[in-house]
Amino acid sequence: MQGSGQRVPFSSWMLYLLKKVLRLASLLAAVSFIAFMLMEYSPVDPVMAYVGADAIKVSPEQLEQIRERWGLDEEPLVRYGKWLSSLLQGDFGTSMIYREPVLDLIQDCLWLLSH
């Protein structure tokens, strides 16, 4: 009993901590997979959203080059693996609106919040 003053063995704490870490990891994996799949099956074509009003000026070959550069010609699971790998390495990609690395934008916002 813990209430009677007995100490909980160190291994119990390690097991408890390990379970919590595994739960957190599985939750993060599930959330990342769901977020990726929501983007994958979105009705909005990311290339056309990127090109926007200039779609008339862009040739089909240029659109295909953008798709290849972004890796949209690869299988979804391959793209998910690359996306997750980049995310774990701290590469959050480039903002489509500001055309800057997302991590730089986050750092700027956090800096503004701290002052």
**48's tokens:** 């056309």
Tell me, what's the pLDDT at 74?
A: 95
| Tens digits of residue pLDDT in 27-45 | 999 999 999 999 899 999 9
3-state helix, strand, coil in the chain (%, to 5): 70, 0, 30
Contact 102, 92 (CB under 8 A): yes
Cβ contacts of 98 within 8 Å, gap of 6 or more? 105
pTM: 0.67
Residue 114 confidence class, pLDDT cut points 50, 70, 90? confident
Q: In the numeric block, which tokens belong to residue 15? A: 């097991």
